[in-house]
Amino acid sequence: MSAEVSAALFTAAAYGALLVACAVPLSGYLVNVMEGRQARARRIVGPVERGAFRLLRVNPDDSMGWKRYLVCVVAFTGVSIAGLFVLLVAQGALPANPEGFGGLPADTALNMAVSFATNTDWQAVAGESHLSYLSQAAGLAVQNFLSPAVGIAVAFALMRGLWSAGDGRLGNFFADVVRVTLCVLLPLSLVLSIALASQGVPQTFQGYETVQLLEPVAVDEAGTVVAADDPAAVEEVTEAVVPLGPQASQVAIKQLGTNGGGFNGANSASALENPTPLANLLECLAILLLPFTLILSFGRMVADRRQGRALLACVLILLAAGTAVLVGAEFQATPQLSQDGAVYTGSLSQAAGNMEGKECRIGTAGSAIWTAFTTAAANGSTNASLEGLTPIGTLVPLVFMGLGEVVGGGAGTGLAALVGFAVLTVFIASLMVGRTPEYLGKKIGPTEMRAAVVMVTAPALVILLAAAGLCLAPAGAVPVGEGGPAGFAEVLYAAVSAGANNGSALAGLDADAPLVNIVLAGAMVAGRLIPVACALGLAGSLARREPVAAGPGSLSTASPLFVFLLLMIIVLVGALTLLPALALGPLAEQLGTLA
């Protein structure tokens, strides 16, 4: 292993340790907030919280059954989609639009509304060139708060179901959303956004800046830059644009809430969204902070912290493996880049390896670690162009997303998927030794198994159906950037990203085509609501079961053996569903480079 790769892996390990160190205290705070017993935070946000409950006419102690909880989730998601859709379509006639952008076409607006309300943040069009400040701040950023809040609410409903004494109650949806938003998401975002602004992320409501180019460039009729002596040159462009806006406040919650939709099309690869190594460090840690916190909250909620640690151990092993592969791949320059040694890709006074699509200040290591984190969590923000990854580098994000949001995953939904896999593991392990399956003192029956199996397999089914649908479309309806395996990889990546609610993209695919917009919108809704419905169904069924005391024959779900079994089940399900598709895309492409 080269020195750069070891240094990068050491950095990644340090990031992981730092994250766990932050997640431990935060998980205690989060549980107190959600259970309505956080005294210190209550003194500050208490009046706001009580005001919100009065406004909503919600009694936080009015605990809901799983069906009512699900109705609230579906209703809230629907209202969010509708509200954001109207805002995006009508932005041309609304204020805070200094660049005078018109409303989005209906298919684009629908795709974007679904995308942000389902915590996916897939972006069919670039924000800086299509969206007004109002759409960004009051539309996208608001969903960046609310969609993770909904996910976290569902996770707590599930945890209450596992730990309830048999009354079937899961908590109050509206109280959960209000509490986590006011006491956790908002304070964290305030601190992070001001830290980011100090590093150079713009935060202003003034319009874009026009600046003088030091070297004017010639452009042709279509606006493409050409050489000054090119006969097609029709005009000299002397000025450039600097997009500004309320970016810091949006970037902060984009990173914290496993959202990932950038203010700018280039996302955090843009130096405006991610100006310095310190900003990059903070944004990168923010990606996995809440997913890790939720996993550790699980242990606290079921009054056995070892249970949370066991799940976190499983996630950390998968994360470490994926990060190592990705880092190793990106420090290898492809033959197409190194040009038989004509291009220097070593580490003397520069970042080594594959710098295509990567930023100088972030480097190979910083980009590879971020890419692993952002697809492990269902975040999807990027600090490099994913299309510029080596083929094996592309494989890791695909596998992480394809495993179904379990390696950290979305805020709340990641934990729910992990619990689904744990239930499946308990069932299989118990059958192997002929015992009645039970998890955390609750018997696992047919109802629970149905919910868990649908929950862990639904995202894969949605992904494969969406990918198949896009591949069967008539020529031209799906505008891929490249042909052959690379083009298939672009389509597969889009389907995986939508179905797994991630939102990152291989941007060679021109995503703003009506068919792509609509197929992916459907995949995002199904990929969000089916697992959520299963999680709540599982919770409701478990909540009605009386806890049974653990006997000598009970399977310990906090042991290394269980972690190993859980890992195997996750990898097996993921491999069985996605391996054939992966073989046609990135694997075929990688083999092609060797030919």
| Residues between 74 and 93 that touch another protein (CB under 8 A) | 74-76, 78-80, 83
Tell me if 355 sits within 8 A of 338, measured CB to CB. no
Q: Does 271 bind another protein (CB under 8 A)?
A: yes
Contact (Cβ atoms closer than 8 angstroms) between residue 291 and residue 412: no
285 part of the interface to another protein, by CB under 8 A: no
* Residue 106 engages another protein in binding (rule: CB under 8 A): no
State the nearest-atom distance from the C-beta of 352 to another protein, in Å: 8
Question: Does residue 391 bind another protein (CB under 8 A)?
Answer: yes
Span near another protein by CB under 8 A; candidates 289-297, 360-368, 438-446, 553-561: 360-368
Return the SS3 of 583: helix
CB 544 within 8 A of CB 443: no
Helix (H) / strand (E) element for 564: namely helix 560-582
Subset of 447-486 contacting another protein (CB under 8 A):
481-482, 486
Residue 267 to residue 119: CA distance in whole angstroms: 16
Angle between helices 560-582 and 446-472 (to 10 degrees): 20
Among 385, 413, 457, 577, binds another protein (CB under 8 A): 385
**x/- contact string, 132-161, with another protein (CB under 8 A)?**
-----xxx-xx--xx---------------
Q: Which of 120, 250, 293, 374 binds another protein (CB under 8 A)?
A: 250
Q: Which residues within the stretch 485-504 sit at the binding site for another protein (CB under 8 A)?
A: 486
Q: Of 402, 415, 408, 416, which is closest to residue 460 (Cα–Cα)?
A: 402
- In DSSP terms, 453 is beta-bridged to none
Q: Which residue, 137 or 570, is less far from another protein as judged by CB? A: 137
Does position 358 interact with another protein (CB under 8 A)? The reply is: yes
- Distance separating the N- and C-terminal Cα atoms of the chain: 25
Tell whether residue 198 is a contact of another protein (CB under 8 A). yes
Residue 97 interacting with another protein (CB under 8 A): no
Tokens 């917009």 found at:
517
Q: Which position among 208, 304, 441, 515 is part of the footprint of another protein (CB under 8 A)?
A: 208
Chain centroid, CA 66 distance in Å: 25
Should residue 248 be labelled a site residue for another protein when binding is judged by CB under 8 A?
Answer: yes
Count of residues that interact with another protein, criterion CB under 8 A:
130
Secondary structure class of 473 (helix, strand, coil) = coil
**How many CB atoms lie under 10 A from the CB of residue 223?**
9
374 binds another protein (CB under 8 A): no
Specify the 3-state DSSP secondary structure of 412. Answer: coil
In the complex, what is the shortest distance from the CB of residue 522 to another protein, in angstroms, rounded to a whole number? 21
CB of 141 to another protein, least distance (A): 6
- Out of 129, 436, 556, 559, point to the residue binding another protein (CB under 8 A): 129
Let me know how long the chain is.
Answer: 595
- Shortest distance in whole angstroms from residue 354 CB to another protein: 6
Verify binding: residue 3, another protein, rule CB under 8 A: no
Instruction: From 479, 499, 501, 500, select the one nearest 490 (Cα to Cα).
Output: 479
**CB contact at 8 A, 493 and 576:** no
One of 119, 189, 457, 577 touching another protein (CB under 8 A) = 189
Candidates 197, 302, 456, 525; binder of another protein (CB under 8 A) is 197
Is 181 a binder of another protein (CB under 8 A)?
A: yes
Please give the residues from 30 up to 59 whose contact with another protein meets the rule CB under 8 A.
Answer: 52, 55-58
Place of tokens 């200040």: 361
Q: Which of these ranges, 24-32, 160-168, 263-271, 302-310, lies near another protein under the rule CB under 8 A?
A: 263-271
Residues 303-342 that bind another protein (CB under 8 A): 333-337, 339, 341-342
Is residue 200 part of the contact set for another protein (CB under 8 A)? yes
Q: Is 362 in the site for another protein (CB under 8 A)?
A: yes
Binding of residue 266 to another protein (CB under 8 A): yes
Helix (H) or strand (E) holding 438: strand 438-439
- Range 212-241, binding another protein (CB under 8 A): 212-215, 217, 219, 222-225, 235, 237, 239-241
CA angle 28, 376, 465 (to 5 degrees): 125
When asked if residue 269 is in the footprint of another protein (CB under 8 A), the reply is yes
* Cβ pair 520, 495 in contact under 8 A: yes
CA angle 8, 13, 17 (to 5 degrees): 150
Q: Is 593 in the site for another protein (CB under 8 A)?
A: yes
DSSP state letters, 19-70: HHHHHHHHHHHHHHHHTT--HHHHHHHHHHHHHHHHHHT--TT-PPPHHHHH
Residue 221 is inside which H or E element, if any? none
Contact call for residue 445 and another protein (CB under 8 A): no
